[in-house]
Amino acid sequence: MPIKETAIASPSDLSLNGDNVIDVAFPTINQKKLAWQDIKSGLLNWRIWVMLAYQDIKLRYRRSVLGPFWITLSMAITVYSMGYLYSHLFHVQLAEYFPYLVAGMLSWSLISTTVTDTVETFTANDALLKQIKLPYSLYVHRVVARNFIIFFHNILVFIPIMVIFHHQVKMGLNWLLLIPGLLIIYFNSICYGLFFAMIGARYRDISQLIKNLIQVVFFVTPIMWKPSILPASKQFLAYLNPVFSLLELIRAPMIGYSLTKMNILMIFLMSLMGLGVSYSVFVSRRARIIYWL
């Protein structure tokens, strides 16, 4: 007896037509529903990715005396030496330049390491992905949470700056704006991180490409320099840089000044674009991730 399809969903889905040919009805798979369930489940299982993020840091500095504070010490040596040197190179007062640079470097460290780490999210966890059924988004949360924990260690570097340059660093309610700023960065890190993780799993050269581009972005973004040093006709180029607007979400509250309208607009557009791109790609390509590993 001829058969149209060999695979069947369930016995109840089989039917015989007049020619004694079996018709097989396959259940439809709603990829949007599966993607939404993955994202929702990743958020609800926050205890898992927080524990895994903490475990990553603990294993990296196992048997060391300072533990993760080695990162803080390295950051302190870097920013303190850079602050003294570049303040003289740019002919800027030390009290004005030091807080700007340190806050900017702390922000840049969080953003850059998150980007480079999320590209390798799925490839670095391929063994776990093949053995345990967990949401794909959970692994992205793990990487982002790990870098946020490191950021909170590194923020201790800013305490001496607040004490020494207390006239320049304005302490007040503006520090409360750091909380929504970090939440926005976390949201963007998940959106873009999910996208980067997928293209990093599909195309292995993307990881090296991103690492090289990060170095270029560091020099073209106002981290060590201020937009005001550019000619008046060229300053808009700095404000059109989306990374600069993300940096200001952390640096502005820490130093004590407000975001510009251009910063707010760029952050809104970047968040909207990241949400749309990551969701559309995740819905259409989520089922193929495991085959790319």
- Alpha-carbon span 285 to 164, nearest angstrom: 52
- pLDDT (average), residues 232-239: 86
For residues 7-37, b (16+ Cβ closer than 10 Å) or e, as one string? Answer: eeeeeeeeeeeeeeeeeeeeeeeeeeeebee
Predicted pLDDT at 8: 45
Question: Is residue 12's pLDDT more than 60?
Answer: no
- Minimal CA–CA distance to 107: which of 216, 251, 238? 251
Question: Average pLDDT over the chain, rounded to whole?
Answer: 86
In DSSP terms, 14 is beta-bridged to: 24
The domain locations on the chain are: 45-292
Q: Which band of pLDDT confidence, cut at 50, 70 and 90, is reported for residue 18?
A: low
For the four alpha carbons of 102, 156, 170 and 145, in that order, the dihedral sign comes to positive
pLDDT in tens, 78-133: 888 888 888 888 888 888 888 999 999 999 999 999 999 999 999 999 888 989 88
pTM of the full structure: 0.86
Predicted pLDDT at 42: 92
- Within its chain, how far is the Cα of 102 from the centroid? 20
- Minimal CA–CA distance to 190: which of 153, 130, 148? 148
Q: Are 237 and 230 in contact (CB under 8 A)?
A: yes
Question: Is residue 3's pLDDT more than 50?
Answer: no
Question: Is residue 34's pLDDT more than 80?
Answer: yes
Q: Which band of pLDDT confidence, cut at 50, 70 and 90, is reported for residue 27?
A: low
Predicted pLDDT at 25: 56
- Alpha-carbon span 213 to 200, nearest angstrom: 14
Side chain identity, residue 94? L
Encoding tokens for residue 78? 């870097």
